Amino acid sequence: MSQLRDHLFDYLRIRRSLGYKLERAEKLLLQFLVYLEERGTEIVTVADTVAWARLPAGSPDWWAFRLSAVRGFASYLHALDSAHEVPAADLLPRRPPRAIPYLYTEAEIAALMAATGGLRGRLRQSTYRTLLGLLSVTGMRAGEAIRLDRHDLDLAHDVVTVRDSKFGKSRLLPLHRTTVTALRRYLRLRESHQRATVSDALFISPAGTRLLYCNLHATFRQLRRDARLDAGSGRCRPRIHDLRHSFAVRTLLDWYRAGDDVQARLPLLSTYLGHAHPKDTYWYLSAAPELLTIAGQRLERSLGGRP
C-alpha cells in the first residue's frame, strides 16, 4: 500500500505546483487510503470510492465533496495504471444552486461591528471589530485576513499585502486613511496585550495565537444573532463571506452610477479581489437585482429606443 501513498504524494506535489493548496483534500485522501489498507486492496474502484464517500452520516453535498476529492486522484492513478477506476462526476451529485449572496447595507455592517461590544475581553472585541471593518472595505477573503502577519501591513504607505492566496497568488491592496487609523488603533491595543509576542499574526486571540477559521465562523454567527440579521431566504443567509460579495457589488454600483465603463474596469476589480479568472467577477453582475436594473437602463440608453 506504500506505493499508493507514494503516488498520492506525487499527485499532491504536482497539483500544488499549479497553485492548488489541497489541505482538506490531502486529509480526505489519506483517510481514503487508510480505508483501502484496511480492506487489503491496492486498486481504486468505483464501488470502494462510493462506499467510502458515503460512510459518514451527512448531507449529499458532503458525500459529493468527498467523492470529488478522490476522483481527481483516481484520474491521476488511471493514467498510470488503467486498472484504477474513475467514478463519474455526477455519481453523487450535489444540490445544484449556489448560495445567494446576502448583500449587507452600511447600517447592517455597523450593527455587526457594534455587536462585538458583547464579546468577552477588550482585545477580542477590538480584534473582531477591526477584522470585520477590514473585510468590508477591502473585499478580502476571511481566510486571507486571518493569515495576515504584522509585517504584511505597510501603514506608512497605506497598503496591505495578501500573500499566497488562492492558486498561489499574492496582491497589494491600498487602504483608506480611515482604515489605516483603525488598524493603528488596533495595533496599539494588540501590542499592550501580555501575550502579543506569541504569534506574528496580525489578528490574535486572547491567548495571543492566530485566529482559527472555525472559531471565526462561530463568533460571526454569534455577532449575526446579536445584530439581529435575519436570513433573506433558505439560500440567502448572512455569512462572513458575504462581506466580500457586498464590497464587489457596491464597487460595481458606484461605477455604474458614475457613468464609468464597467466592462473596461471589471478586470481591475477581478485583480483586486484575487480572482483566478475574470468570469468569477462577472458573476457579481447577476448577484444583485439593483445591478441588473442599472445595467438594463444603460443598455436601453445605448440602444436609443431601438429594439
Cβ atoms of residues 52 and 85 within 8 Å: no
279, with CB counted inside 10 A (0-12, 13-18, 19+), is exposed
pLDDT at 232: 64
265-286 pLDDT, tens digit each: 888 888 888 887 777 777 666 6
Pick the catalytic residue: 166, 171, 221, 237? 166
Q: Is residue 95 part of a domain?
A: no
Residues 173 and 266 in one domain: no
**Residue whose grid cell is 483517510:** 31
Domain final residue pick, 166, 195, 226: 226
Residues 250 and 290 in one domain: yes
The range of the structural domain enclosing residue 196 comes to 106-226
Let me know if 13 is a catalytic residue.
Answer: no
Residues 45 and 150 in one domain: no
229-256 pLDDT, tens digit each: 987 666 678 899 999 989 988 888 888 8
Residue 244 neighbours by CB distance under 10 Å: 22
Largest CA distance in the chain: 72
With CA atoms as reference, report the closest residue to 273 among 260, 258, 283, 263. Answer: 283
Domain final residue pick, 80, 97, 120: 80
Residues 143 and 191 in one domain: yes
User: What type of residue sits at position 261?
Assistant: D
How many domains does the chain fold into? 3
Residues 111 and 211 in one domain: yes
Let me know if 166 is a catalytic residue.
Answer: yes
> For the whole prediction, is pTM greater than 0.95?
no
pLDDT at 24: 87
48-87 pLDDT, tens digit each: 999 999 887 777 888 888 999 999 999 999 999 999 999 9
Residues 178 and 264 in one domain: no
Pick the catalytic residue: 84, 141, 224, 239? 141
132-185 pLDDT, tens digit each: 999 999 999 999 999 999 999 999 999 999 987 766 678 999 999 999 999 999
With CA atoms as reference, report the closest residue to 43 among 16, 14, 69, 7. Answer: 7
Pick the catalytic residue: 20, 221, 241, 256? 241
Q: Is the pLDDT of residue 113 over 90?
A: yes
Let me know if 275 is a catalytic residue.
Answer: yes
Domain final residue pick, 226, 255, 275: 226
Q: Is residue 100 part of a domain?
A: no
Let me know if 151 is a catalytic residue.
Answer: no
Report which DSSP code applies to 286.
Answer: G
Report which DSSP code applies to 99.
Answer: P
